[in-house]
Structure 1
Amino acid sequence: MFQRILVALDNSALRSTVFDQALSFAESTQAQLMLLHVLSAYDDSSPGLPVRSYHAYYPVLDSTAWESYQREWTVYEEAGLEKLRQEAARARERNIDTEFTQSAGEPTQVICDLARTWNADLIVIGSRGRRGLTELLLGSVSNYVTHHAPCSVLVVHGGQTVAADNSEEAVTTTA
């Protein structure tokens, strides 16, 4: 069964559901958890991409805007770490061996790379339910991870869970 579960957590409304599913799996299989938050300009609470004004015309505005962005990013980083600390403490209260990490980068790559280097048996990840044109334009982290992960993937969708390994998919409804 699963011994090492990587839990990919973003700042969406689905975060607590994803975390609760991972806790249940880890508890029932006595697995270790690795909680991961990827700092991304596209995350719900991220300060976004830095907007740099044209330096030749507004040099003071440019440095002020950059400093402001850096302060906002630092707050974003600290908030992410605090959430991870709280979730790790909750898991440890249930006697689940838990680690956490936070990295900046492209979520799809960071998740798959960590799963590979940490030797995860399972990745638990949420899905925002993007379909069609929206998925084509904005992409889907869970879709990419499902197709590129080195291990099985459990995709949590609000009221349902879609489990997939790298070769076939199964859909189950959760209560």
Structure 2
Amino acid sequence: MATTPERKVMVVAIDESEHSAYALNWTLCHFFTPMPSPLFKLVLVHAKPYATSALGIPGPGFAEVLPIVDGDLKKKAAKVVEKAKEICRKKSVTDVEVEVTEGDPRNVICEAVDKHHASLLVVGSHGYGAIKRAVLGSISDYCAHHAACTVMIVKKPKTKH
């Protein structure tokens, strides 16, 4: 009996930004629809920040606020996941695995690539300039240098004024 080869894995990083939604939408349009049998297994990955990193330096009341902040971060992650699932549903892409992992997005994304033996990683570009990128860091730049697969950075077209 012949076995069917396993599909390659594509990891798409998602967050709450419009750049992320655009990258997911673009990816679905170009790789998943209208094909009856997609070439890739789709894994969406969202990095939820640690509550302690969202709060910064501990101070008075830190322990009391921590569960509240963590709850808010979980709600935000659930909204990110639901928005991504809705984008997939609108494109009739139903075979989707979604992961929410706590940690720094750079590490979470690269670890997901390793875990799933991904062939392709898709990240959106926030379009930061050189100064903002130097101050904030660029997740897409980090992934392009550290992910163990091909990395595609999807840029949202600039709007004309």
* Short-chain TM bin: 0.7 to 0.9
2:69 corresponds to which residue? 69
Alignment of 1:130-145 (within 5 A): 130-145=128-143
Structure 2: which amino acid aligns with 1:33? L
2:4 corresponds to which residue? none
Q: TM-score, normalised by structure 1?
A: 0.70
Percent identity for Structure 1 against Structure 2: 24
Check if 1:118 corresponds to 2:116. yes
Structure 2: which amino acid aligns with 1:83? K
Q: TM-score, normalised by structure 2?
A: 0.76
Structure 2: which amino acid aligns with 1:118? H
Number of residues of Structure 1 aligned to a counterpart in Structure 2? 147
Shift of 1:70: 3.2
Structure 2: which amino acid aligns with 1:117? K
Check if 1:21 corresponds to 2:26. yes
**Is contact 2:9–2:42 with CA below 8 Å preserved after alignment?**
yes
1:36 corresponds to which residue? 45
Match among 133, 147, 150 for residue 148 of structure 2: 150
Shift of 1:76: 2.0
Cα distance in structure 2, aligned partners of 1:20 and 1:62: 39
Structure 2: which amino acid aligns with 1:68? I
Shift of 1:82: 2.6
Match among 94, 97, 113 for residue 95 of structure 2: 97
**Is contact 1:15–1:126 with CA below 8 Å preserved after alignment?**
yes
Structure 2: which amino acid aligns with 1:77? A
| Secondary structure of residue in 1 paired with 2:54 | coil
Structure 1: which amino acid aligns with 2:55? P
Q: CA RMSD in A?
A: 2.7
Where has structure 1 moved over 6 Å in runs of 4 or more?
A: none
Cα distance in structure 1, aligned partners of 2:104 and 2:25: 24
Higher relative contact order (CA 8 A, sep 6+): 2
Structure 2: which amino acid aligns with 1:14? H
Shift of 1:68: 3.1
Question: Unaligned 5+ residue runs, structure 1?
Answer: 55-60, 161-175
Structure 2: which amino acid aligns with 1:31? F
Q: Which moved more, 1:71-80 or 1:14-23?
A: 71-80
Match among 53, 56, 64 for residue 59 of structure 2: 53
**Is contact 1:88–1:99 with CA below 8 Å preserved after alignment?**
no
**Is contact 1:5–1:22 with CA below 8 Å preserved after alignment?**
no
Structure 2: which amino acid aligns with 1:32? K
Seen in structure 2, the aligned counterparts of structure 1 residues 67 and 145 have a Cα distance that, compared at 3 Å, is: closer
Question: Unaligned 5+ residue runs, structure 2?
Answer: 1-6
1:87-127 deviation digits (Å, cap 9, x = unpaired): 45445x34x63211111111111111110110111111001
Seen in structure 2, the aligned counterparts of structure 1 residues 32 and 90 have a Cα distance that, compared at 3 Å, is: farther
Shift of 1:71: 3.2
